[in-house]
Amino acid sequence: MGGKEGEASKSRGLFWRLLVLLIAALVVTTAVLTILRDFHYFKKHGVPSDHPINKKYADALEIALQFFDVQKSGKLVDNRISWRGDSGLQDGSEGNLDLSKGVFDAGDAMKFGFPMAFTATVLSWAILEYGDQMNAAKQLGYAQNSLRWITDYLIHAHPSENVLYIQVGDPELDHKCWERPETMSETRPIIQVNTSLPGTEVAAETTAAMAAASLVFKKSDPVYSNLLLMHARQLFTFADTYRGSYSISVPQVQKFYNSTGYGDELLWAASWLYHATGYESYLRYVTELNGQNFDNWGSTTWFSWDDKLAGAQILLSRIIFFGAKDIPTVQNLYLQMYRKTAEAVMCGLLPDSPTATSNRTDGGLIWVTEWNSLLHPVASAFLAILYSDYMLTSQTETLYCSGNSYKPADLRKFAISQADYVLGANPMKLSYLVGYGSRYPQYVHHRGSSIPVDADTGCKDGFKWLYSDNPNPNIAVGALVGGPSLNDSYSDTRNNTQQGEPSTYNCALLVGLLSGLLTTSSVAKSYT
């Protein structure tokens, strides 16, 4: 019996040793598979698995991107908005052009080239920085399709080197009507800038849009990318050679999108061309005489469709963060000046910085203008998340503001505060993004949204829907309305244009901000 017990004991010992070895093997195998899975996921999506997609911002992004579908003109393809149909099919016909595509500017049926091009530039920037995050949230394709809908229009609006069509529709006539874009019947004239009537701002902004978009499509459609870049380079030459404000050449735009100067657009355009081409000539453009004349180094500004300086400063800072090794010393010194100004902009946004702006509501929202009040806080938050991620990716640990030190996380916290305010964390407990959350504006100042699809109305009799007491019958999904007052209040009435009208450029900025907040991962070091 003793011998058998000894053998049994040995067998039991061998069993347990084998079991331990098997468990250890399983643990190692699981770890290896996890590493491989994370590697392939990261390689494909650019989003580490330990940084999961934030569902709140992903849901908001999905909604925000639908506003471009709400605003599309032309023969619609894969239409996601049930109450939208084809419109503007004859736009451009008086000049033998196809200007049917593009997007309507806001709650009307106008196509203003200046803010439309800015929309495309910002949307491109968002895709270039956060396309992998968008892809992980299954929204990249929608963003790219919306961008291409706009750039297709911009290509057709530039029929020759020194001619750019900058507007479709008569705003005075358009605003005397309240009708769905699908049924509009009034004349829609087209307006151009050229060598006799220059428009440096709009030509340079369109340059930026096409240069940035050329990077977006560089891998997926190189032929289209090259076409965009060709137009961008021609337009920049036109904008720079024939300098003149489009607000002077086309005075009727002053009531709607008046320009306060074109120097910022020239720097912005050259910055994007440098990123798209790598040509030193564009870098010299922004770092030599033009930079000295137009940038106002050290003076902070608010990023918007009219003022691109803060955006250009952030974009040029990117070169310092990721690629300044082979840049000549003189250019490097000027780039450092752009970066110092960008840092000053960031310091102004951080609420506890010694140089923090006092332009804030009691609810914590950056405040600059009564009209379209959400433009500047969303734009500022987008720049802040970009700069935060530039610091994070380049392992730049500290931002100094008058002796005080801040981390990338501090900029991210500010960006989150503005995004969350928009999404409902505000004194009104109201989401300013239509379609998001349980409470959002019901009386958006938007023609198509306010008129029933089956309504038989013309130009004038449609105004009964503007003054109707009923909520909009069609939800303008993804519309970011103008925003609250300085006291954080909001009046949800359809005729409240100041607070209740959405715009495509606001939407593009919000898309960029939300995309940057999808994960805590950093940006790519190169666009190419």
Active site amino acids: 445
* Residues 137, 62 contacting (CB under 8 angstroms): yes
Assign 196 to helix, strand or coil.
coil
DSSP state of 178: -
The Cβ of residue 185 has, within 10 Å, a number of other Cβ atoms equal to: 9
Nearest-10 crossing angle of helices 309-322, 280-287:
120
3-class SS of residue 194? coil
Q: Of 97, 251, 235, 113, nearest to 169 (Cα)?
A: 113
- Residue 400 pairs in a beta bridge with 405
* The amino acid at 267: L
For tokens 């803060």, name the residue.
Answer: 310
Return the biggest CA–CA distance within the chain. Answer: 113
Is the dihedral angle over the CA atoms 52, 57, 63, 65 positive or is it negative? negative
Neighbours of 260 (CB within 10 A): 12
Check if the beta carbon of residue 476 is closer than 8 Å to that of residue 446. Answer: yes
Structure tokens at 170: 């008569």
Q: Residues 190, 91: contact at Cβ < 8 Å? A: yes
Determine contact, residues 250/191, Cβ cutoff 8 Å: yes
Q: Which residues pair with 404 in a beta bridge?
A: 401
Is 64 within 8 Å of 506 (Cβ atoms)? Answer: no
Cα Rg of the chain, angstroms: 26
For the chain, helix, strand, coil in percent to 5 are 55, 5, 40
DSSP 67: H
| 111: Cα separation from own chain's centroid | 18
